[in-house]
Amino acid sequence: MMVTLVLKYVLVIVMTLILRVLYDSICCYFLTPRRIKKFMERQGITGPKPRLLTGNIIDISKMLSHSASNDCSSIHHNIVPRLLPHYVSWSKQYGKRFIMWNGTEPRLCLTETEMIKELLTKHNPVTGKSWLQQQGTKGFIGRGLLMANGEAWHHQRHMAAPAFTRDRLKGYAKHMVECTKMMAERLRKEVGEEVEIGEEMRRLTADIISRTEFGSSCDKGKELFSLLTVLQRLCAQATRHLCFPGSRFLPSKYNREIKSLKTEVERLLMEIIDSRKDSVEIGRSSSYGDDLLGLLLNQMDSNKNNLNVQMIMDECKTFFFTGHETTSLLLTWTLMLLAHNPTWQDNVRDEVRQVCGQDGVPSVEQLSSLTSVRS
């Protein structure tokens, strides 16, 4: 009799859990998106019809494949139709404000400059990144500044700010000059050979970030860069599968690879952190260093901030990623434009020699005098 009663209670609990999971799934993947869609339509904001679970992901993938299938006929700055064909097409069809769906998550797209400015300045730190975006980068950069919301964003931004003061940025200039000289010297030896300039710029920015973020541990920083590059690509692919319930928890080869890379990245970071701590504990150094990692460790040691080792590792991964990605792309694009415009290239070279001397190595103070470079 007692066993039967226990089994009934267990059955009730299991059925309750199943029903709760089923209800939450229906709300998350059907009812909530439907309610949001109707709410936006009442405000006059429409968009392409989403598919069940996948939203507009399949349509976007088809448009991107089609736009990138052919090489560019000429070099020009109007690359938005090639990189974001869905954005161009749907903004023409649905207006300056429209909504598209990344799986079951809505994305409001704006083309009005003033509204974009207001959103970024007044609301972005508070609303921040969505749950889906945070889950997509969880294995990559965790909950660093790029993925923080609200008070956490303000707190983490305050902690990182000392690493980017004017005086500290001037101090980083020596690393930029040293790394660029090494790259230029290596490329001079390869004159006449084909060089992948995009890869060279990625390597250059990774070297600079390694030195400014990890100081003397820059060799391990370079190893981190290599692992983070692979991890970034895998996590970017994984975001396309997050709309399927529980897919990221499956022990597939794909998910195991992401977990393995994340573990290796954090192992390398812990080695760097532990070596800093050991140096302070045995008296070899009076502080953890004046680079980004050292500043964060000093703040954690002072107990003035709610910092832990995992947060420090997430911040290091975040700044490593954001510090090199956009910079390397900008440098690659700049060099391509200079190669395409030899007259402008000669003008810039002459100005650099005139301001900086024959060696052409600028100081921080001389940068403001390079008008052609800044225009």
Residues forming beta bridges with residue 97, ordered by sequence position: 110
Same structural domain, 227 and 322: yes
Same structural domain, 33 and 95: yes
Q: Does 89 score more than 90 pLDDT?
A: yes
- Distance in angstroms between the alpha carbons of the first and the last residue of the chain: 86
Q: Where are the alpha helices (DSSP H) in the chain?
A: 2-26, 32-42, 57-67, 80-83, 85-94, 113-118, 124-127, 131-136, 150-160, 166-189, 197-214, 218-238, 253-281, 292-302, 309-340, 342-356, 371-374
Same structural domain, 84 and 167: no
Same structural domain, 162 and 104: no
Look at 53-57, 158-162, 183-187 and tell me which has the smallest mean pLDDT: 158-162
Q: Does 310 score more than 60 pLDDT?
A: yes
- Is the residue at 272 inside a domain? yes
Same structural domain, 86 and 178: no
pLDDT band at 47; cut points 50, 70, 90: very high
Q: Does 100 score more than 80 pLDDT?
A: yes
Question: Radius of gyration of the chain from Cα atoms?
Answer: 25
Q: DSSP code of 51? A: B
Please, what sign has the CA dihedral across residues 54, 55, 57, 62? positive
- Is the residue at 124 inside a domain? no
Residues forming beta bridges with residue 110, ordered by sequence position: 97
Q: Structural domain tally of the chain?
A: 2
Question: What is the bridge-based pairing of β-strands 97-102 and 105-110?
Answer: antiparallel
pLDDT value of position 2: 62
Same structural domain, 227 and 309: yes
- Is the residue at 179 inside a domain? yes
pLDDT value of position 270: 87
Same structural domain, 168 and 259: yes
Q: How far apart are CA 98 and CA 262, in angstroms?
A: 36
Same structural domain, 98 and 181: no
Which CATH number do you get for residue 225?
A: 1.10.630.10
- Is the residue at 27 inside a domain? yes
Same structural domain, 87 and 185: no
- Is the residue at 351 inside a domain? no
- 276 is in which domain, residue-wise? 157-340
Same structural domain, 202 and 105: no
Q: How far apart are CA 181 and CA 194, in angstroms?
A: 20
pLDDT value of position 249: 63
- Is the residue at 354 inside a domain? no
- Is the residue at 184 inside a domain? yes
DSSP letters for 274-337: HHHHHHHHTTS-SSS-SSHHHHHHHHHHHT-S---HHHHHHHHHHHHHHHHHHHHHHHHHHHHH
Look at 37-41, 49-53, 226-230 and tell me which has the smallest mean pLDDT: 226-230
- Give per-residue burial for 294-303: e unless 16+ CB within 10 Å, then b: bbbbbbbeee
- Is the residue at 292 inside a domain? yes
Q: How far apart are CA 265 and CA 304, in angstroms?
A: 27
Closest CA to 234 of 209, 251, 259, 210: 259
159, two tokens: 């902690």
pLDDT value of position 94: 93
Q: Does 46 score more than 80 pLDDT?
A: yes
**8 A C-beta contact, residue 261 and residue 231:** yes
Amino acid making up residue 358: Q
Per cent of the chain over pLDDT 70 is 87
Look at 65-69, 135-139, 360-364 and tell me which has the smallest mean pLDDT: 135-139
